[in-house]
Every structure is written in structure tokens, then in C-alpha cells.
Amino acid sequence: MLLFHDIVEIEAGDTFILSSAHTKNQQEKEMKAFKSLKNKIPREISKEYEKLWIEYEENKTNEAKFCQAIDKLDPVVHSIFKKADWKINKFTEKKLRDKKEKYFADFPEILDFFNKLIDYANKNDYFVRE
């Protein structure tokens, strides 16, 4: 499910979390990319591809919620090694929590890890102060 989601993002292009275009155009771009990719893959696979992609997008099953949580945590983990980017992009703890934390509510271990990343970012002056 994550792989199918990421393939669509690769085709559509990903957007930066704090970008206003993130929410406005991304869903539209991803739907177009999904349809394009569906027509390019073998028919035997396309039904499963469609099923899993829709399941991810609807975010109703435990599996989809877990995949969404992993997808939302991944860039935080990768960016922890790029402190300057946090400052340049004016990340605050509140903005990060507002964008990400709701995806971790059903997964205490993931939420705990996210909170540890937040603690690390606070202790090491990653955030811009509001």
C-alpha cells in the first residue's frame, strides 16, 4: 500500500508540508498520476493497485491508517539530519504537531517516537520560536 502511494507521489511530484499548494493541488495531481499509472501497468495488477491506493486515500482501515502514519513520520525522521532546513522553513513545534500528530493517535509506539523526535528538536534548537 505504501509503495503504491509513493509511486503515485513520484509521478505527481511531492509538495513541501508547509506549502500552501500542498493541500490545494496535491490531491488533484495525485489523482491524475494514479489514473495515468493505472493505464500503464498490466491489467492483472491494476485492480489490486487501484484497491490498495483507494484504501490508502480513504484512510479507514487499520492498515491504511498505519501506512498514513508511517508516511507522515518518514520525512520527519529524514529531516532530523538537516537542522538548517527547519530554521529556513520556519518550523515550529505547533506547526509540526498540527500537520502530523493526528496520524499517530492510533499507534502509541509511533506517537512516542514522534514525541522523542520533537524533544530532540526542542533540546537542539531546531524550531523557530513563535
Instruction: Please tell me whether residue 126 adopts helix, strand or coil conformation.
Output: coil
With 90 as the cut, is the pLDDT of residue 44 above it? no
Pair 49, 41: CB distance under 8 Å: yes
Domain residue ranges of the chain, discontinuous segments joined by +: 1-58, 65-130
CA 86 to each of CA 24, 35, 42, 102, 116: distance values in angstroms, whole numbers, following the listed order: 23, 34, 41, 20, 16
User: Alpha helices of the chain — where are they, by DSSP H?
Assistant: 2-12, 21-24, 26-40, 43-58, 62-79, 83-88, 93-100, 108-123
Other CB atoms within 10 A of residue 122 CB: 11
pLDDT at position 27: 83
Lowest mean pLDDT among 18-27, 35-44, 64-73: 18-27
pLDDT at position 23: 60
